[in-house]
Amino acid sequence: SQQGEEDPQALSIQEGENATMNCSYKTSINNLQWYRQNSGRGLVHLILIRSNEREKHSGRLRVTLDTSKKSSSLLITASRAADTASYFCATDASGANSKLTFGKGITLSVRP
Amino acid sequence: DSGVTQTPKHLITATGQRVTLRCSPRSGDLSVYWYQQSLDQGLQFLIQYYNGEERAKGNILERFSAQQFPDLHSELNLSSLELGDSALYFCASSPQSGRSEQFFGPGTRLTVL
């Protein structure tokens, strides 16, 4: 079963605009991670935010985490056509057996 | 390039057959994870090995098995294949067991006819 549920399922924006993607999860976590996948290829790690962090930045990426609402958002600023990909949130749940549970992903299309 | 390699890139086989997928983790990474990605199930965690020992198990069928060898490479064995096993199989690695980012290989696309 999927722990992370991303929203929206698909997003289409113009180059230069900002893209905001949301993720909700169900159980306590150690950290939450965002990954990108270009069509049919391997996933690329974007950013990791720990449960005691509220916001993190990496280049054009900004991630927030609200553990009380069990939700996270990924903001990509000044989007580029090369940002077109699927984006997944993944949760590393609390507990001894740590494994990543992925959501179904968000398809982002950035129009040139 | 993540540093994780997977072979083969593509595999086409028939129902009832058995295949082996191979993964070499990034240099120095002790953990290897296997995932299955299909259109209907999404990305599903199968199994994790850490330094040769099984560490966590996910939605892995009994027909599937895996192991991690002393040189830390891993193999995923899929037997009695069914049409529904057609999917992308990814291997990922990390330095430790969980709590950190994972580095994904390019995947093996398995087609069962």
Query: Nearest by CB to A100, which of B45, B88, B103?
Result: B45
Asked if B90's CB is within 8 angstroms of A42's CB, the reply is yes
Q: Which residue of A has its CA nearest to B47?
A: A99
- Residue A97: band (very low, low, confident or very high) from pLDDT cuts 50, 70, 90: low
CB contact B4 to A (< 8 Å): yes
Is a pLDDT exceeding 90 seen at residue B84?
A: yes
Q: What residues are paired with B74 via a beta bridge?
A: B23, B68
* pLDDT value of residue A50: 93
The amino acid sitting at B11 is L
Give the separation between CA B34 and CA B36, rounded to whole angstroms.
7
* pLDDT value of residue B39: 85
Q: Which residue of B has its CA nearest to A101?
A: B45
- Partners of A102 on chain B (C-beta within 8 Å) are 35, 42-45
Surface-to-core class of residue A81, CB atoms within 10 Å of its CB (0-12 exposed, 13-18 middle, 19+ buried): exposed
| CA B52, chain centre distance (Å) | 14
Across residues B15-29, what is the average pLDDT? 97
Is a pLDDT exceeding 60 seen at residue B24?
A: yes
Is a pLDDT exceeding 50 seen at residue A1?
A: no
